[in-house]
């Protein structure tokens, strides 16, 4: 699990934290995430690590949506992406680059 949240001591008040979460969740592009980052720094100061992580997770979700991946789940030491349809050449490349990969149909 990733420590990704807006700490109470960073954005005081539940309303302000919820507003930060809404801004992050509504980001649809890297520019949006950058704008949210700048807004948070401007309002509350340097981003603590959990907020940086939250923005990184938002970026990952955005990329997943762009690739039609609806689910990214950590399972032990593995990450599961679903649904993913790969051509045979893509499966071979995945196996070559990441030998421990498991592809389930």
Residues 95 and 45 in one domain: no
Q: Sign of torsion, CA 26 27 32 36?
A: positive
Residues 1 and 42 in one domain: yes
pTM of the model: 0.80
Give the H/E segment covering residue 73.
Answer: strand 71-75
What does the pLDDT look like over 40-80, one tens digit per residue? 999 999 999 999 999 999 999 999 988 888 888 888 888 88
> What average pLDDT does range 24-53 have in this prediction?
96
Nearest to 11 by CA among 53, 31, 41: 41
Q: What is the CATH number of the domain that holds 25?
A: 3.90.1150.50
Domain range for 104: 69-105
């Amino acid at each position: 699990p990733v420590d990704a949240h807006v700490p109470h001591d960073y954005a005081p008040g539940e309303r302000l934290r919820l507003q930060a979460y809404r801004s992050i969740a509504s980001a649809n592009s890297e520019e949006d995430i950058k704008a949210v980052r700048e807004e948070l720094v401007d309002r509350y100061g340097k981003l603590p690590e959990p907020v940086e992580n939250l923005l990184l997770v938002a970026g990952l979700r955005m990329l997943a949506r762009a690739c039609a991946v609806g689910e990214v789940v950590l399972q032990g030491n593995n990450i599961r992406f679903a649904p993913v349809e790969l051509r045979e050449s893509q499966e071979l490349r995945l196996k070559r680059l990441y030998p421990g990969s498991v592809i389930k149909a």
